[in-house]
Amino acid sequence: MPATPRARLHALLDLIDRLRGPDGCPWDQAQTIESFQPYLLEEVYELLEASAAGPVGAGGQGPDPLREELGDVLFNALMLVRIGADAGRFDLDDVAGDITDKLIRRHPHVFDRDATERSARWADNQPAGKGRLDGVPGNAPALVVAAAQGAKAATVGFDWPDAAGVLDKVEEELRELREAIALKDPAAQHHELGDLLMAVASLGRHLAVEPESALRAGNRRFAQRFAAMEREAAAAGARLTDLDPAALDGAWRRAKERLSGTPDREA
């Protein structure tokens, strides 16, 4: 009979126990919470890439890349739990119990049928003494932090009423950045660019567009178009460094049109 999902999970836990055990892998045995963090971060980024790759591999064939990367992230998370248990900090029951309790607290409309509790927002169910912005991971990508801080501040009404208000703020910050550039003030430019990026992150939230995801997609489009420019230049026996600014702009527009399937509106 095929293994049940829980049986496979237990098999994974047993595998981790073996790797960390006395007769296990020296590399796995040597890992600490601190040393293992980069591997988890790498796998999370690979998971994000896989989530944007589609349901199956290239050409519509092969295993689902998201399934594979979810497995890698699951292994890394469980490995960190085992490392924590070995250090006497917590075990899997502690971790599972904490997240279960937290989810129940944050969903009173599901788990508590009292009318008053159902109407409460989960954001108001915070432990005493914690600030509204506590819990936003400061070492996350800055755009993620900006979006998360804006969302948490919005729970107390510190927000714009709609996207139009945020657009006005974006334009205001852009004007202030232009002024800092005109003054040739590097410190002011640094300050105003940060404010502008934060305003753009808030705009994404009001448009229901996750800014980190949008930027990652923009990065992929840029890489694809730039590679197309390089291929076009190579086909003509040239390199991009051989082209003047006007020729580079033309190559960019053609790459954009080919890859998007629609004419560049700026052309």
Indicate if 192 and 229 belong to the same structural domain.
Answer: no
| CATH number of the structural domain spanning residue 50 | 1.10.287.1080
Say what angle helices 211-235 and 186-206 make with each other, to 10 degrees.
110
Q: Is residue 250 assigned to a domain?
A: yes
Q: What total of structural domains would you count in the chain?
A: 3
Quote the pTM value.
Answer: 0.64
Sign of CA dihedral 189, 192, 194, 199: negative
Q: Is residue 245 assigned to a domain?
A: yes
Higher pLDDT, 9 or 62: 9
pLDDT at 120 over 60: no
pLDDT at 186 over 90: yes
Containing 17, the helix (H) or strand (E) segment is helix 5-20
Domain interval for residue 82:
5-90
- What percent of the chain shows pLDDT beyond 70? 84
Which pLDDT tens digit goes with each residue over 211-248?
988 998 899 899 999 999 999 999 999 999 999 999 99
